[in-house]
Structure 1
Amino acid sequence: MSSKPQTAAQGAPTGKAAKTAITPTRDENYAEWYQQVIRGADLAENSPVRGCMVIKPWGYSLWENMQRVLDDMFKATGHQNAYFPLFIPLSFLQKEAAHVEGFAKECAVVTHHRLEAGPDGKLRPTGELEEPLIVRPTSETIIGDAFSRWVQSYRDLPLLINQWANVVRWEMRTRMFLRTAEFLWQEGHTAHATKEEAVEETMRMLEVYATFAEEWMAVPVVRGEKTASERFPGAEQTFCIEAMMQDRKALQAGTSHFLGQNFAKASGIEFLDQNGQHQHAWTTSWGVSTRLIGGLLMTHSDDDGLVLPPKLAPVQVVILPIYRSDEDRARVIEYCRKVAGELRAQRYVDRPVSVVVDERDERGGDKVWNWIKKGVPVRIEVGPRDLEKDALFVGRRDRAPKDKQSIARSEFVASIGATLQSIQDGLYERAKAYREQFTKRIDTKEEFYEYFTAPRVPENAPTPIHGGFALTHFSGDADVEERIKSELGVTVRCIPLEKSEPGICPFTGKPSPQRVVWAKAY
């Protein structure tokens, strides 16, 4: 266990007396801090539709970068994109009993197809549908129907399809990016001739997600399998990646499901094998969503706003001209544009470095804080004196706002790729150290309950963060799991793929094959 103390540079909450761009701070009100970071970065806003959000250009640019990288990774593993209907016939959902039971309470249902004005002039739905339509909560059933037509022979397999889409799950308690009634995602759906191929696909895509989270988002994750109670409805096995946020709660950042033959039998996905025998296909599904933006925010951001990993940042370098007179303005902006061109000629992760020159006629301090709150990795301030020295005044978002230094222009331009990678690597190592610091091996029920029980605090006082990840032996008793969830709000986040030693479950006294990860979660 790491025992390094947190510092402000490591993303630790700052003290009440400190001046921060975001209020409240994390230690004062974490949930409200999260909302204010979104607002300060201009990522999204609430919409007139309850539980839905408007993703603004800065937030959508971040999602586009995530989408581009993931799409390349999917295609590199042989998958093709397609699109399927938003509406799913109710009868389709009823084909797989566990599936409909798992999603029934979250379904939005369309029952009419026309609006007419009543005597009072108000519009009313008329034209009742013969069969209600479900606004897709997920697409296993509608895609399974298509697969049943596309798959006839073993030669048609494997069938590897991905869809970028929106889905609707009628959540009662919503929070932007983390849990909304409508959200954006991708969902992969595949069909295979054998169980072994389908299992291999399930694990391959889990590793794609883990690689993306760690190498692109700079978010360390635990790879593992869900318990039966946390499994995707209708699946035989669900695998996941789990990340720790700065309030020490877990976030499920991606899932990959081995569906067995359950959905193939429900949808009639059959094929003739090499021996001319009819067989049901083995299927998988896997997905990540815009919740990744919320996870990225809660992993790296601080009390001055959003902090973005350079690999995904919509803008990697912002150049801020600083001047007092019109004469200085012309010279400084010309110099800034020249520097921007030189930086764009450099490449980082096989793409030109993304640079913006902020020429808005606003106070320099306001512009600086605007970009700090947006999380841009590198800020460059250029004034008349910098022109004389042919140097740049450089700040990094992973350091304190006042931690800036003058660097010769040629030196900075030549090293921009290394600088961005240094920030990327530092964010990952910082997040990993934080997770290790608040991951604890626990062997008794008493210590487990104490770990997840919030200490009492005076009214209106900051609520201290407690708990984290608990590595505890568990016999797999579903009743125990449900009781702990009810009493503490804590669940088994996953059974890690990286096996640990066998032991004794502290809750039942029964043998346990390995430790599992417990945590409170979003």
Structure 2
Amino acid sequence: MSEEQGITVSKEENISAWYQELIVKSNLADYSSVSGCIVYRPLAYSIWERVKEEVDKRFKEIGIENAYFPLLIPESLLEKEAEHFQGFTPEVAWVTEAGNSELNERLAIRPTSEAIMYDSYSKWIKSWRDLPLKLNQWNNVIRWEFKHPTPFLRTREFLWNEGHNVYETKEGALEDKVRVLGAYKEVVEDYMALPGFIGRKTEKEKFAGAVDTWSMEHLLPDGKAIQGPDYHYDGTNFAEAFEITFMGRGSEEKYPHQTTYAITTRQLGIMIMVHSDDRGLVIPPKLAPIKTVIVPIPADEDYNERILEKGREISSKLEDCKIDDRENQTPGWKFNEWELKGVPLRIEIGPEEIKENTLTLVRRDNQEKITVEQSEAKEKVEEILEKIQKKLLKNAREFLNENTRETRSYGELKQILEEKGGFIKAPWCGKSSCEKKIKDETTAKITNIPSKYETPENEECIKCGEKAKYWVNFAKSY
């Protein structure tokens, strides 16, 4: 493989250029003729399908059902919830004509589905017996971002789940919060090998229209934070806006409590950026469409058929295994290509392996070479794939821990942000005024109030010096 076909930019020297080159050359995605919209090539879409499958399986255990609502939303419905609509106004793409006819009412291309779904909910929900209603969509949305688009991380069209649940009480809504965030955490950590901080957003950073928002926040290799999955408790805000009422158990009319939650294809970009290197992609084995690739090492004619036969035999015993028997490329070229595409484990079979009844295994994550007996191939491959999966999470967790620092000094906070980045744990009074001043002066925001942090005792706010209410994480964010 020539230099032009491989990665030519170092991740450490220029992470942005490295990432852009990696996305295209690994065949994950390509740019399209629509500005800010990408093509998800089969490799990327296959990974997303596996994420979706695992999340969806956990949703069903919670009692969440899948449905589908229209892509187009009448403007009159969006305007019913002014606070929410105002937050999306600059990002909405509109349909104004059909054929040669101008429409009587503008139709928004779905930026999110509260308006179209809750119009139906107002018809369906009449009694407490109709609750809880737990519906989810796997779909695409359009948000006409004007910031610099980046594949997966910030695109005008992206894929996600959007869950919209309705409950009799606040308690029911918050009970499912734990279960939904737990489902996201399992998939993000156990499959994508990505750790993060789960916590509540501040009033300033919460989702428009929500009473409270909880998020999972990740750290990218450049020291910037980025939001992952989230969950919103919306109280009765949307119920009141869309006139969703039900007859309670005591025959009184009530507004139900609602929640929304999502995980998006942004998560793929986070995974790619955290784990991959200058050789190309590194895909966690649990999500890899091809977990193992067998590369025959050709010799003379007597050996070649035996090598291919052994490769096919081994391949038939392994899950998601491919044998690369192309004759027009050298083994070295194949090694580089499969490393670029992130296949977790390579198996080399040549004359020496045939003689010794062994296999040479090469890990994608650290290039370690391991010799195993052919008779133990299935057991050893599964064992090594599990080790790779755990090692990727361990590496990411160590990076997160090493780049999460604690300070009580505002001067030190600014210095860390300038020189090192990462998360900075600091005491905060809870006032939006202090939060805003810090962001204005440092460009860092409070990513969330991590659930794992205890309430500070006898601590002063890092900015104003008043009694602190929370330990929070500050970070420059994507």
**TM-score band, normalised by the shorter chain?**
over 0.9
Q: How does 1:311-326 map to 2 (within 5 A)?
A: 311-326=286-301
How many angstroms does 1:82 deviate by? 0.4
385, 396, 413: which is aligned to 1:420?
A: 385
Q: 2:200, 2:241 → 1: CA distance?
A: 24
* 1:370 aligned residue (317, 337, 355): 337
Question: Structure 1 length as normaliser, TM-score?
Answer: 0.88
Picking from 36, 46, 66, the partner of 1:51 is 36
Q: CA deviation at 1:150?
A: 1.6
CA distance in 2, matches of 1:359, 1:338: 13
Displacement after TM superposition at 1:469 (Å): 0.6
| 2:287 aligned counterpart, secondary structure | coil
Q: Which position in structure 2 is the counterpart of 1:348?
A: none
List per-residue Cα deviations over 1:343-381 (Å, max 9, x = no partner): 2xxxxxxxxx21111122211111111111111111101
CA contact (8 A) 1:63 1:290 kept: yes
Is residue 362 of structure 2 the alignment partner of residue 388 of structure 1? no
Contact 1:307 1:398 in 2 (8 A): yes
Partner of 2:118: 144
The residue type equivalent to 1:272 in the other structure is M
Q: Which amino acid aligns with 1:57?
A: P
Letter in 1 for 2:102: E
Q: CA–CA distance in 1 between the matches of 2:87 and 2:182?
A: 26
Matched, 1:188 2:173: no
Aligned residues of 1:237 and 1:258 also touching (Cα < 8 A): yes
Match of 2:242 among 267, 270, 273: 267
The aligned residue for residue 445 of structure 1 is 410
The equivalent of 1:22 in structure 2 is: 7
Give the SS at the match of 1:85.
coil
Structure-1 separation of matches of 2:320 and 2:200 = 38
**In 1, Cα distance between equivalents of 2:193 and 2:222:** 17
1:62 to 47, 57, 61: 47
Q: Distance in 1 between the 2:188 and 2:380 partners?
A: 25
* 498-507 or 37-46, which deviates more: 498-507
Q: Deviations over 1:444-487 (max 9, x none)?
A: 11101111125xxxxxxxxxxx2111001111222332233233
* Deviation string, structure 1 residues 396-438 (Cα, Å, up to 9, x no partner): 11213xx313211122322322221111111111111111111
1:467 — aligned with what?
Answer: 421
Rounded Cα–Cα distance in structure 1 between residues aligned with 2:250 and 2:167: 16
Q: In structure 2, the residue corresponding to 1:143 is in which secondary structure?
A: helix
Deviations 1:195-247 (A, max 9, x none): 11012122321221112111111111111011111111100000000111111
Tell me what 2:65 maps to: 80
* Distance apart, 1:325 and its partner CA: 4.4
Q: For residue 6 of structure 1, what is the aligned residue in structure 2?
A: none
Matched, 1:161 2:146: no
Which residue is 2:226 aligned to? 251
Report the Cα distance in structure 2 between the residues aligned to 1:326 and 1:106, rounded to whole angstroms.
Answer: 63
Q: Summarize the alignment of residues 196-211 of structure 1 with structure 2, pairs less than 5 Å apart.
A: 196-211=171-186
CA deviation vs aligned residue, 1:167-201 (integer Å, no higher than 9, x gap) = 00001121000010001111111000111101212
SS at match of 1:33: helix
In structure 2, C-alpha distance between the alignment counterparts of 1:379 and 1:416, rounded to whole Å: 10
Partner of residue 355, structure 1 = 321
1:359 partner SS: coil
CA RMSD in angstroms, aligned pairs only:
1.7
1:126-141 → structure 2 map (5 Å cutoff): 126-141=100-115
| Aligned partner of residue 253 in structure 1, secondary structure | strand
1:22 deviation in Å?
Answer: 2.5
1:317: how far off? 0.8
SS of residue matched to 2:47: helix
Show the counterpart of 2:212.
237
Q: How far apart are residue 49 of structure 1 and its match?
A: 0.2
Aligned to 2:401: 436
The answer on 1:485 being equivalent to 2:445 is: no
Distance in 2 between residues matched to 1:412 and 1:469, nearest whole Å: 42
Matched residues, number: 472
What secondary structure sits across from 1:223 in the alignment?
strand
Question: One-letter code of the match for 1:509?
Answer: G
Distance (whole Å) between structure 1 residues aligned to residue 96 and residue 338 of structure 2:
47
What SS does the corresponding residue of 1:434 show, helix, strand or coil?
A: helix
CA contact (8 A) 1:169 1:181 kept: yes
Q: Which amino acid aligns with 1:146?
A: S
Select the residue among 439, 448, 466 that pairs with 1:510.
466
Counterpart contact for 1:203–1:256, Cα < 8 Å:
no
How far off its partner does 1:385 sit? 2.2
State the 1:268 CA deviation: 1.7
Aligned to 2:448: 494
Q: CA deviation at 1:152?
A: 1.3
User: Shift of residue 514 of structure 1?
Assistant: 2.3
Structure 1 gap ranges (5+)? 1-19, 115-125, 344-352, 455-465
CA distance in 2: counterparts of 1:28 and 1:382, whole angstroms:
36
Match of 1:117 in 2: none
**Distance in 2 of aligned mates of 1:31 and 1:237:** 33
The structural deviation recorded for 1:294 is 0.4
Instruction: Please give the secondary structure, in 2, of the residue aligned with 1:112.
Output: strand
Shift in Å, 1:327: 4.8
Whichever residue aligns with residue 336 of structure 1, its letter is: G
Percentage of matched positions with identical amino acids: 39
> What displacement does 1:21 show?
5.0
| Partner of residue 258 from structure 2, selected from 272, 278, 283 | 283
2:22 maps to which residue?
A: 37
Partner of 1:440, secondary structure, is strand
Q: Which residue in 1 is equivalent to 2:276?
A: 301
